[in-house]
């Protein structure tokens, strides 16, 4: 499953950042996922739940996905329109000459958590 690989990468990034910032207990991981991205929120949620137990700092965390609608601009008539898939014609003039402007995102917005109690006692 494609989402497993994506989520494994996300958790690795969050883990590394949490360690670096002495965050012991991550409570929320926030992602921004475009509807044209191909990564399905349900599958991401499933992958998150399956993988979070592998990471001490993340295993109690919740996943919050912010969904971004797909938008494209017609380069013939200039209409900015919402789309749910790639390769569709302009709803206004029927042109195929279009440019996707959003909806392909896959970004880590951030995460929230509590600092380690051992902070300051290391080394």
What string marks each residue from 11 to 50 as x (binds Zn ion by CB under 5 A) or -? ----------------------------------------
Q: Which is nearer to Zn ion, 64 or 73 (CB)?
A: 73
Question: 23 vs 74, which CB is nearer to Zn ion?
Answer: 74
Q: Which residues of 74-105 are buried (b: 16+ CB within 10 A; e: fewer)?
A: beeeeeeeebeeeeeebeeeeeeebeeeebeb
Between CA 84 and CA 67 the distance in angstroms is 12
Of 12, 25, 76, 112, which lies in the binding site for Zn ion, with binding defined by CB under 5 A?
A: 76
93 binds Zn ion (CB under 5 A): yes
Assess 83 for contact with Zn ion (CB under 5 A). Answer: no
Number of Cα atoms under 13 Å in the Cβ half of residue 17: 16
Which span (21-29, 51-59, 64-72, 76-84) binds Zn ion, by CB under 5 A? 76-84
Check binding of 92 to Zn ion (CB under 5 A). Answer: yes
Q: Backbone phi, then psi, for 116, in 5-degree steps? A: -70, 140
- Positions touching Zn ion (CB under 5 A) are 74, 76-77, 79, 90, 92-93, 95
């Amino acid at each position: 499953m494609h989402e497993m690989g994506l989520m494994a990468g996300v958790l690795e990034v969050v883990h590394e950042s949490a360690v670096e910032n002495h965050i012991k207990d991550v409570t929320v991981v926030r992602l921004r996922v475009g509807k044209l991205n191909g990564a399905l929120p349900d599958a991401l949620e499933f992958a998150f739940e399956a993988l979070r137990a592998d990471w001490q700092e993340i295993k109690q965390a919740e996943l919050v996905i912010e969904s971004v609608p797909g938008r494209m601009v017609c380069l013939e008539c200039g209409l900015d329109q919402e789309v749910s898939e790639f390769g569709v014609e302009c709803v206004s003039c029927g042109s195929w000459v279009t440019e996707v402007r959003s909806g392909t995102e896959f970004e880590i917005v951030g995460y929230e958590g509590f600092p380690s109690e051992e902070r300051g006692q290391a080394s």
